Amino acid sequence: MSDWIDCENCGDQFEIRVFQRSHGYCSSCRQRMKPLDLELLCAAEGAVAGHGDGRVSRGDLQEIMAIIRGTGWFSPVEKATLDLIHRNYRFTSAAKQLYHTEIGDWPKG
């Protein structure tokens, strides 16, 4: 399933798969961006899709962080993806607090 949307960076229209809607960038703009971790993005999409108030809860964020911990280190790709999730998804106040307190303690890998 796909749709046509405008690139958030340059404004060009492009076809996007529904599960990638949160990217919002055309292929030429995405080439200049850091790569993203699809598993983390899917976890964030699943956290806000179809139930609740559309926000990432503390429990949802803990599940996303567990995915990162499972890799054994906090890679630049995972950091960039987590930053994108933080910028583009609404968080509950408990999730915001967890994000700011726990992510600051993680190694800069």
Candidates 45, 42, 48, 37; CA nearest to 79 is 37
Percent of the chain scored above 90 by pLDDT?
19
Domain residue spans in the chain? 1-33, 34-109
Residue with tokens 């899709």: 49
pLDDT of residue 14: 63
Percent of the chain scored above 70 by pLDDT?
62
pLDDT band per the 50, 70, 90 thresholds, residue 109: very low
pLDDT of residue 107: 56
pLDDT of residue 53: 79
Q: Full-prediction pTM beyond 0.85?
A: no
Give the model confidence (pLDDT) of 24-49 as tens digits: 555 666 566 666 778 888 888 888 88
pLDDT of residue 45: 86
pLDDT band per the 50, 70, 90 thresholds, residue 62: very high
Q: Supply 20's token pair.
A: 């990638």
Residue 71's CB is within 10 A of a number of other CB atoms, namely 13
